[in-house]
Structure 1
Amino acid sequence: MQSGLFDCIAHLDIYRRHGYSFYGPDILNIHQGIIEPIFEEMARKNIGLEVNTSSLRRGMRVFHPSPEIFSLAVKSGVSIFTIGSDAHRLNDLGSYIDEALLFLQKRKVQNHTFTRRIATPCETLSVS
């Protein structure tokens, strides 16, 4: 983040994907006390956080980041959020995007898009 090269950060809790089988439920709390300063720096630098839907395709029940970690981001002042399907195959492109939009709507935050490194809210995108 210090380099200024990043507009948005994703997969902050990717360890959940494989860590549970090695560390058990303790892996779900490993972020506590560590991730908050990262979010505070993201907020200061107007760096966005991606809600990544690939976890649902891989059999997980929640997005990356988890609802708990997402709430910590909001509480820490992060206000720019994007959605990504992390598609590496055409069939996965856009998967679970409606669910991610609903996730943001329920938390009363907006999805953003970046154009020339400027974040713009996507006010017209909504799911009913």
Structure 2
Amino acid sequence: MKYPAGLDLGGTEPPEIALSILAELVQVRAERAGARGEGRPGAPPGAAGESASGAAAGAAASDAGTDAGAPQAPAFATDPVCGMSVEVEEARHTAEWRGRAYYFCCPGCRRSFEEDPGAYADAEAE
């Protein structure tokens, strides 16, 4: 990311500024996918084989039945504290509880989980 964040779309109101930041995030993600050969920048969602979000928290996407020569879509997990989608392979903040790996967007979410893992793991099961 850069400062100031967001594409220069001329927004002045908070919703317009938020939209410009979201647009930059989409642009950066598309460029990264293109650099990894997962698709072309600007391709419609799903064209690069992105995995669906909403998978069970902490669970990596299964690659069973895929072509060994095809590029694999990144596996995502849901941060059990805030609900954010986290790329498993790139996750810097992880914890294990009862033999299961959990992935977090930031150290604060990991710290909250480690203070009371049962509260988040039990809420996830509901």
With normalisation by structure 2, the TM-score equals 0.25
More RCO (CA 8 Å, sep 6+): 1
Question: TM-score with structure 1 length normalisation?
Answer: 0.25
Select the structure of larger CA radius of gyration. 2
Structure 1 or 2: larger helix share? Answer: 1
